Chain A
């Protein structure tokens, strides 16, 4: 097989190619699921529970049934025997409690927004209007909102078929695991101990395209168009759960308008559409409103983190003890219980420890289920470690950057096996940090900060640091097995050189904004020596792309792209054999450059890859043992994760009179390994950082005391608009990953993972002189103002 070293020099990889997918988006020639119409298409509307916790005592649908345009009305009872449960693919412990998750509630509702009844009508407004004519009698049950109260003895149960609201307890301890010393000994011997409680507020992924599904039944089979990140997972788990022969189930993810983990799900709505379409034998469509999306699409984060960091007096870290409560919400969805555990291997961040313990309790509440949201477990972990390192610096009276330098994994230490037992592949924290400090003008900002304090300026300057490491490229299938995940982590690709020399590439990744059509084309163009424009990337349809694990967890470049590259290299391998045969030369004497195979030392003898594609198609004279057609498949299963890292620096102006924090300068230097397309990588960083900033400053899903989501529209759930966020300065270092042949690491989540603690650390740096040691997120003007004015250290009327 052709090795990587023999590949032609890169003309495409590393270039800022403008995206080929843009053309149809900028002209409005898009195919969102909601755009799809079919002959006889019916429209579906969902009646949702207005109560957080209640028994359904009766449902009267008679008023809706006879209304104009209404075709059918269904309740949970109609599907009680057929709907099964929304699958949870990650039962993290052997004794995990999974109460089951019906797509339509049958006799009890457990969160506001849960589906209770379905109207099917000839048009969408008729379906929606008829919802009002359905009468549901509820018998309210006590709501369960607070995680600690939920775990207390005698707490009301979310699910009557369980004996506690505890879903699971998952533990890692370095002494027991043999990856370090016993944590208790290290804690007891500690010279300096800092303990904090941080709260990761509940967030909503808030992709811009509301979720939508069209289901078209066909005999035993069905075709689903859905706004999903995971068409392959949906096909297999849909077939398994609903008893559809998998070979007769086709899932298509057309243009998908963002996901951020929010569409990494098998949704009740997808199953409801499937069940209804099969029952009626007619195609149906459901598109959610934004309020439905915010209420019933899964949420993210929502953890209480108790963290203790110990160190010697010289600042050397010794132990890290983490206990988190992780809010599952009312049900387990696709990977709900696994999300906090993705952070288990990241609380240690960029640093060395003698001992580590991580204990996570999953807790049921009567809120919307949680699951993946950009970063998924890793932003939570990064926030906690980067925040408490700053607190330790204060405790020790050390500069926070010096404390980081003292404890991080040095460049010469890589590959480095951390206290969790995972091996970081490569990194250069020193270089990334030095570059970031220079770009930031750090020392000048520090001087300005001191000046402002000295002159009693009411607008204080704060400087925040986040030197993060994250784990990307989900995932080695073997590792997923160890973690009790039900699926694999490989990905698949086919490269087909068509008779005319144009190229079709099939990928198992499922992009929804990441630019795979462009990036994968760059890879194939380089490998095959064909023009970028001649390559078409096929994805998101299980009929044309039958194998794959889709797009999430910063996996597409680190796994899917490698499969694409390997398949292309296999095409070259095959082409070389055909070329040698046609050129009557030994394979060893044939060389390949710029799309042409020629005999060494005999220029002008060449066969282009296009010539060879036609020859292999006609197949008049194939070499012995070589099959017709110029194509190849590859499946790549990584041997290990990859570990991007970087240094993010944030300068924030805090107006101490109004409490408003404004980001003044933001620098990020990220190391995501080799870069396929810098334009796309920068775009991922920009968007990721803004989502991280947004957790720090703006977003929070809020429930009232009755369990109602009060942030149920974009009027109340605050997404930042353009004036709310800064332009940032991005740069990179490149430490190629050693766990895949292209040296790429993954970039989809880095910004979100890195940014939040940089911003909060900056705000605290600004207000620490007032005695403030923590501000809950989001750090709104009110919270910052209260922290300044209600902290006991801050003396009345006097400003430190």
Chain B
């Protein structure tokens, strides 16, 4: 057992973990963060994607202990405390970018990472940016639309914030 200190969705945790424990199992089985799911075990599908210090990682292909001292955001910690949806969450709803919803947490986290890196992606850039996340329901079309729509919303609010400053 090794001691892990990590912050998940703005809560600090200190836990003894087996060195072989995967991050996704730590999140699901120890912390009850079951919004993050396992889809494939081989890091192909991306359903388990979370943000680690703001960048997307596949939590099924990382050990819990590798997150020592770092900050994790899961789908459950993305919305504001008052329940206000993150622009990417809102866009997924508005654009009907989910059907069964299983890939959705990972897809949203991957989209957040993408928009952090490229705030105004073209359709091709969105498609490349979410390449590591599989969806079997939507054919990706509305996901692409949602990511671009979220980008516009985020740009608008940046601009508004800029004006306010």
Contacts and interface: CB of A to CB of B under 8 A. Distances in A.
B121 to A, nearest CB: 12
B41 A25 contact: no
Contacts of B98: 22, 25-26
B131 interface: yes
B37 interface: yes
A63 interface: no
B76 A29 contact: yes
A586 interface: no
A727 interface: yes
Interface in B124-138: 124, 126-128, 130-138
Interface residues of B, number: 54
A689 B138 CA distance: 10
Contact of B139 (A24, A34, A209, A686): A686
B136 A260 contact: yes
B93 A18 contact: yes
B101 A25 contact: yes
B35 A208 contact: no
B17 interface: no
B118 to A, nearest CB: 15
A725 B138 CA distance: 11
B34 A26 contact: no
B123 interface: yes
Interface stretch (B42-50, B62-70, B151-159): B42-50
B144 A25 contact: no
A150 interface: no
Given A18-B94, A28-B76, A714 B144 contact: no
A294 to B, nearest CB: 10
Nearest to B129: A722
B102 A209 contact: yes
B76 A27 contact: yes
Contacts of A255: 101
B44 A27 contact: no
B29 to A, nearest CB: 8
B65 to A, nearest CB: 16
A259 B133 CA distance: 18
Given A18-B93, A714-B44, A208 B103 contact: yes
Interface in A478-524: 512-515
B139 A26 contact: no
Interface in A203-256: 206-210, 255-256
Given A18-B96, A683-B99, A722-B144, A30 B89 contact: no
Interface string A769-798: 000000000000000000000000000000
B108 interface: yes
A724 to B, nearest CB: 9
Nearest to A730: B141
B106 to A, nearest CB: 10
Interface string B7-29: 00000000000000000000010
Given A18-B93, A28-B74, A715-B44, A207 B100 contact: yes
Contact of A721 (B34, B79, B100, B132): B132
Given A32-B37, A32-B102, A714-B134, A725 B89 contact: no
Interface string B75-96: 1101100000100010011101
Contact of B34 (A30, A289, A725): A30
B40 interface: yes
B96 A723 contact: no
Contact of A26 (B108, B126, B130, B141): B108
A258 B96 contact: no
Contacts, number: 168
A25 B79 CA distance: 12
Contact of A723 (B45, B131, B137): B131
Interface size of A as a range: 35 or more
A35 interface: yes
Contact of B100 (A28, A258, A691, A723): A258
A27 B89 contact: yes
B35 A29 contact: yes
B127 A210 contact: no
A687 B76 contact: no
Contact of A687 (B28, B92, B138): B138
A342 interface: no
B75 A27 contact: yes
A287 B134 CA distance: 20
B104 interface: yes
A696 to B, nearest CB: 14
Contacts of A35: 28, 34
Interface string A50-88: 000000000000000000000000000000000000000
Contacts of A691: 136, 139
B142 interface: yes
Contacts of B126: 722
Q: Which of A27, A255, A260 has the most CB of B within 10 A?
A: A27
A93 interface: no
Interface in A723-768: 723, 725, 727-728, 751
A721 B101 contact: no
Q: Which of A25, A255, A682, A725 has the most CB of B within 10 A?
A: A25
Interface of A: 18-19, 21-30, 32, 34-35, 206-210, 255-260, 289-291, 512-515, 679-680, 682-684, 686-691, 713-715, 719, 721-723, 725, 727-728, 751
11 contacts: A18-B93, A26-B85, A26-B89, A27-B75, A258-B100, A680-B96, A686-B139, A686-B140, A721-B131, A721-B132, A722-B135
Interface of B: 28, 33-42, 44-45, 47, 74-76, 78-79, 85, 89, 92-94, 96, 98-105, 108, 123-124, 126-128, 130-144
Given A289-B41, A687-B99, 9 more contacts: A26-B98, A28-B33, A35-B28, A207-B100, A208-B45, A208-B135, A210-B38, A682-B142, A688-B139
